[in-house]
Amino acid sequence: MKNEFIRKETTIIHKGYSSEHHHDSLSVPLYQTSTYTFSSAEQGERRFAGEESGNIYSRLGNPTVRILEERIAELENGQSALAFGSGMAAVSAVLIHVTKTGDHILCSRGIYGCTFGLLEMMDEKYNISHSFSALSTEQEIEASIRPETVCVYIETPINPTMELVDLELVNKVAKKHGLKVIVDNTFSSPYLQNPLDFGADYVLHSATKYINGHGDVIAGLLIGNDVDDMMNIRMTVQKDVGGIISPFDAWLIIRGLKTLHVRMDRHSENAQQLVSFLQSASVVSEILYPFDPSHPQYEIAKKQMKAGGGLISFNIKGGKKAAQFFMNELQLIKIAVSLGDAETLIQHPATMTHSVIPEVEREKMGVSHSLLRLSVGLEHVEDIMADLKQAFAKVETHFAMTK
């Protein structure tokens, strides 16, 4: 690439691609191939021996996938990235890479339901244990670290409670103890938050969400700063466990990614307006959106995030019955898990994304039956608001709530 682009908005569109090497095609070509031909047997030998760079087989690398990886590495201010067939493939790859039998993983107070499931499986099958902590002060982090702890695995904002973890603090304490820090940055996207800047060792994404942004791909990404270490993951866990992305999905993500900055700005603007609206809704008992002055962690939000993004969680009065009744009354807003799409989506974590977590654990994470998670889309904000408003009114009437 001739130009050294600096700003994210430009990187998102150009990084890692020169049309002159691809028949002058403006759009990144889709290399839908499983394997690559060698010009001679000797060339094949050299490529397998690592003496000559070049393609071998698409599980080890593909030109379309590589462009996505380069772009994402740059967007996360990292040196190297790997693309996977799902967010969970990225989560499992990095956890397999950093742990061995007997190790302990220290986690943020809440994590994605399937990540929880994976940790339970690692514990049962391989004796790799885990525990949870709010990680809110230096003392609390220190007290949670065990002799066998090897890494700290965090989400911030935490899905679905929107609680933040102070990236600067956690990285500082983890460094002192030689622990790797892994951050699931799905909720913010690389446009709003860059955990590597705070000293994290790995950042991962469910690219299914904001990065692709169009609700038509399942994919994951892992970014790091240590090029040799990342190559090691590529040539061991990724190659041999095999959770790679298809070239077509990588191509779709490259296409979706082009508008990430425009989308994130609008998601954030829409969400900010909806937060104000929800603050005035009498059916809502609590609003969880850290990038708002009313939130207790607003200072941390400002320190590590560029804007709040499109996710708002809130507690509705009347518990599970009211929550489900409310969802059923929505017309424009779709009932669906996943997030970060153009369509506004709503889900009930206790019975959906976080239903695999035992009730006791779930309550400890702050996921009660009155909690709803709204993924604010790109529709006109007043249309989203009108839909919420009419459904709130029906809840009030049906449950005879007084204002």
Ligand X SMILES: *Cc1c(COP(=O)(O)O)cnc(C)c1O
Please report, as ranges, the residues that interact with ligand X according to CB under 6 A: 86-88, 112, 114, 155, 159, 184, 186, 206, 208-209, 218, 220
Q: Tokens for 324? A: 């489900």
Burial code of 209-243, b = ≥16 C-beta within 10 A, e = fewer? bbbbbebebbbbbbbbbeeebbeebbeebbeeeeb
Least distance to ligand X from the beta carbon of 374, Å?
14
Structure token digits, residue 145: 């670290």
Q: Cα–Cα distance between 173 and 21 in angstroms, integer? A: 46
- Minimum Å gap between C-beta 338 and ligand X is 7
Report whether 286 contacts 386 (CB < 8 A): no
Q: Parallel, antiparallel, or unpaired for β 129-133 and 149-155?
A: unpaired
Least separation in angstroms between residue 40's CB and ligand X is 40
Instruction: Given the residues 59, 239, 320, 334, select the one marked as catalytic.
Output: 59
Instruction: Give min distance, CB of 183 to ligand X, in A.
Output: 10
d(CA 345, CA 69): 28
Tell me if 93 sits within 8 A of 243, measured CB to CB: yes
Length of the chain: 403
* Residue 334 tokens, joined: 């779709």
Work out how close the CB of 355 gets to ligand X at its nearest, in angstroms, rounded to a whole number. Answer: 14
| Residue 145 or 158 having the CB closest to ligand X | 158
Output 86 or 315, the one with its CB closest to ligand X: 86
Identify the active-site residue in 112, 191, 210, 289.
112
Toward ligand X, which CB reaches closer, 91 or 395?
Answer: 91
Cβ proximity to ligand X: between 58 and 86 the closer is 86
Q: How far apart are CA 30 and CA 150, in angstroms?
A: 39
- DSSP result, 233-287: HIIIIIHHH--BPPHHHHHHHHHHHTTHHHHHHHHHHHHHHHHHHHHT-TTEEEE
Let me know if 59 is a catalytic residue: yes
Q: Which residue is nearest to ligand X (CB)?
A: 87
Nearer Cβ to ligand X (166/184): 184
Q: How far is the CB of 381 from ligand X (least distance, A)?
A: 23
Nearer to ligand X, 185 or 370 (CB): 185
CB–CB of 254/83 below 8 Å?
no
Selecting among 31, 153, 166, 184, the annotated active-site residue is 184
| CA distances for 87 relative to 186, 217, 326, angstroms | 9, 11, 30
Can 112 be counted among the known catalytic residues? Answer: yes
303 belongs to the catalytic site: no
**Residue 373 bears catalytic tag:** no
Catalytic residues: 59, 112, 184, 209
